Amino acid sequence: MPTVHHTIPIDLGDRRYDILIGTGLLEDDTAFDGLPKSSVALIVTNRTVAPLYAERLRARIAAKHRAVQVLELEDGEEFKTWDSLNSIFDQLLGAQADRKTVLYALGGGVVGDITGFAAACYMRGIPFVQVPTTLLAQVDSSVGGKTAINHPLGKNMIGAFYQPQRVIADLDTLDTLPDAELAAGLAEVIKYGPIADDAFLGWLEDNLDALWARDKQALARAVRRSCEIKAWVVGQDEREAGLRAILNFGHTFGHAIEAGTGYGAWLHGHAVGCGMVMAADLSVRLGLIERSYAERLTRLIERAHLPVRGPDLGAERYLELMRVDKKAEGGEIRFVVIDAPGRASMRAAPDAMVRDVLAAHVG
């Protein structure tokens, strides 16, 4: 099989880093060239990923550090908590980690978000490297510097904007990814079509079967294009003052599904997939796009093995949960809607219209 290797530079003012996307990167010392040396390094991973890839990563970075420790968190969104974060701090302080200590986040979005936030806060900031092993983390959490933990009253409520030194996305790690998580990652890939690149949506319709079969060339193109679009958006709006919010297409409904069912019950990507169906319907009802476009998007989401109907929490509970979403202002819910194929913006919508959307797509 041919080697695939792309480098996407991310340029954010004084912080610049590269995303490496390719096959065999965890076997390739050159992918780690130039990363910082330090006395201590800590690989933060989880119980599922550690036995698969932790030793391989340790071998790549061993020469840069006097000691490389590994910390295994529990696996799952429900462990994206202060307790997990604090276990990283405990380990760092126990190892007398200093300001040059390097954190490696080896795993999916949960590991990346917690580890990035730990790096942002430990001694007010230490370097970290993302090694995402899920499709979702490779296309989404590895670009843009958003780090966070959940609070019982809201997802990603406590966090920081903090950029990694490098992102190393080895596509081979997707071979061990469960189908449900592949689908979750495809939700975030599909998202980039309606909000930013209508041609990409067409490409996805043509290549979904190859992606589902984990074809490396197709995956490389999907990850690369997703990262490029995200980097373009984030480059214009690092701190989410405006444009960046469009990346949350499907996420307002999606977060309500996750919070309402208890974090961990729904995979984040599944909730986003279903949330995109709802947000597309809302866009139709607001008169922004044709019904046929929403239906085309819904079909693609279904083909990616994603749910297109939400849990029956009751419309009022959905509304209540969406009012505490980070995009809300003064209690008014603001949704990312599709203005036209490949273009999105943020808008408020009447509660009655939101109830209609929920009635059509819930239960």
Nearer to its own copies, 2 or 331 (CB): 331
Q: Is there a catalytic annotation at residue 146?
A: yes
Q: How far is the CB of 327 from its own copies (least distance, A)?
A: 8
With beta carbons less than 8 A apart as the criterion, state whether 102 and 35 touch: yes
- Catalytic residue, chosen from 251, 270, 285, 361, is 251
Cα 195 versus chain centre, distance:
16
Taking CA atoms, 231 is separated from 11, 126, 228, in Å, by 8, 23, 5
d(CA 255, CA 262): 10
Cα angle 31, 36, 42 (rounded to 5 degrees) comes to 90
* Range 27-46, binding its own copies (CB under 8 A): 38-39
User: For strand 38-46 and strand 102-107, is the pairing parallel, antiparallel, or unpaired?
Assistant: parallel
Binding mask 102-141 for its own copies (x = CB under 8 A): ------------------xxxxxx----------------
With beta carbons less than 8 A apart as the criterion, state whether 262 and 78 touch: yes
Q: Is there a catalytic annotation at residue 244?
A: yes
Q: Is there a catalytic annotation at residue 251?
A: yes
Binding-site member from 69, 161, 235, 339 for its own copies (CB under 8 A): 161
Binding mask 69-88 for its own copies (x = CB under 8 A): -------------x---x--
Nearer to its own copies, 39 or 261 (CB): 39
With beta carbons less than 8 A apart as the criterion, state whether 333 and 253 touch: no
d(CA 102, CA 99): 8
Q: Which residues in this chain contact its own copies in the complex, by CB under 8 A?
A: 38-39, 66, 82, 86, 89-90, 93-94, 96, 98-100, 120-125, 146, 148, 151, 153-154, 157-161, 239-240, 323-324, 326, 328-331
Catalytic residues: 124, 146, 188, 230, 240, 244, 248, 251, 255, 268
